[in-house]
Structure 1
Amino acid sequence: MYKKLLAIVCSSLILLSGCLPLDNLKRNEVEKEDSSENKNEKAIPIPNVNSQEDYYKSLKNYEPGVARGEISYGVDNRIDVDEVVTGLMRLSKDTFSIDDYYFQEGQYIQKDTIRNWLGRSSEKDGESSSAFLQKGLNPAINEKAYKNADVDKRKEMLKNNPKMLSYIVEQNYLKDSGDNSVKLGGISIALSFNSTYYYTVTDKQGLLHRGEKNLDNSKVKEFAYKTGQEVVNRLRQHPELQDVPIVVGLFMEEEHGAVVPGNYFATSVVKAGQTSVDWEKVNEDYYFFPSDRAEEDHREDHAVFTQFQAEITEYFPNYIGVIGKALYRNDKIAKMTIEIPMQFKGKAEVISFTQYVNYLVKQYYPDETVEVNIKSSIDKIESLIISDPTKEDSMVHIY
Structure 2
Amino acid sequence: MAKYKLWVVAAATVLLLAGCTSLQSNLSSSSSIKSTKKLQTTGKVTDSMYEGVIDNNQYKTSQTRGLTTQQSNTAFDVKSLESGLLNISKKQFPTDKYLYQEGQTIKTAEAQKWLARQSKDNTLGLNPEDNGEKEPDKRNPLYLQQILEQDFLGADGALEGMSIGLGMNQVDYYAKEQYGATFETKISSAMMAQQGKQMANKVLTRLRQKKGLSKTTIVVGLYKQAPKDSLVGGTFFAYGVSKNGSTTIDSWHKMNQANQVFPLVNDEKAVNQSDADAFTSFKGQVQTFFPNLSGVTAQAHYEDGVLAGMNITVNTQFYSETEIMSFTQYIATAADKYLPQNIPLDISISSAEGVQAYVGRAAGSKGFSTHVFGSY
Q: Does 1:213 align with 2:185?
A: yes
How far apart are 1:124 and its partner, in Å?
Answer: 1.5
* Equivalent residue for 2:97, pick from 91, 100, 107: 100
Aligned counterparts, 1:275-290, within 5 A: 275-277=247-249, 278-290=251-263
Distance 2:64 2:77 in 1: 17
Aligned counterparts, 1:1-399, within 5 A: 16=10, 20-23=12-15, 43-46=38-41, 48-50=43-45, 54-60=48-54, 61-67=58-64, 70-71=67-68, 73=70, 76-121=73-118, 123-126=119-122, 134-142=123-131, 146=132, 154-156=133-135, 160-176=139-155, 181-202=156-177, 207-277=179-249, 278-291=251-264, 295-344=269-318, 346-363=320-337, 364-377=339-352, 379-399=353-373
CA contact (8 A) 1:74 1:167 kept: no
Aligned partner of 1:221: which letter?
A: A
Unmatched runs of 5 consecutive residues or more in structure 1: 1-7, 26-40, 127-133, 147-153
Q: Quote the residue 1:5 is aligned against.
A: none
Q: Which moved more, 1:283-292 or 1:311-320?
A: 311-320
CA spacing shift, 1:396–1:338, aligned 2, 3 Å: same
Aligned-residue CA RMSD (Å): 2.9
CA contact (8 A) 1:168 1:190 kept: yes
Q: Which moved more, 1:109-118 or 1:76-85?
A: 109-118
TM score, norm. by length of structure 1: 0.78
How far apart are 1:188 and its partner, in Å?
Answer: 0.6
CA spacing shift, 1:118–1:310, aligned 2, 3 Å: same
How far apart are 1:389 and its partner, in Å?
Answer: 4.6
TM score, norm. by length of structure 2: 0.83
Question: Which has the higher Rg, Structure 1 or Structure 2?
Answer: 1
Distance 1:375 1:384 in 2: 9
CA spacing shift, 1:45–1:330, aligned 2, 3 Å: farther
Distance 2:111 2:209 in 1: 16
- Percent identity over the alignment is 28
CA contact (8 A) 2:65 2:148 kept: no
Number of aligned residue pairs: 345
List structure 1 segments (4+ residues) > 4 angstroms apart after TM superposition. Answer: 71-75, 292-295
* Bigger share in helix: 1
Unmatched runs of 5 consecutive residues or more in structure 2: 18-35
CA spacing shift, 1:257–1:209, aligned 2, 3 Å: closer
Distance 1:14 1:220 in 2: 26
- Counterpart secondary structure, 2:335: helix
CA contact (8 A) 1:72 1:81 kept: no
Q: Which moved more, 1:213-222 or 1:100-109?
A: 213-222
CA spacing shift, 1:208–1:348, aligned 2, 3 Å: same
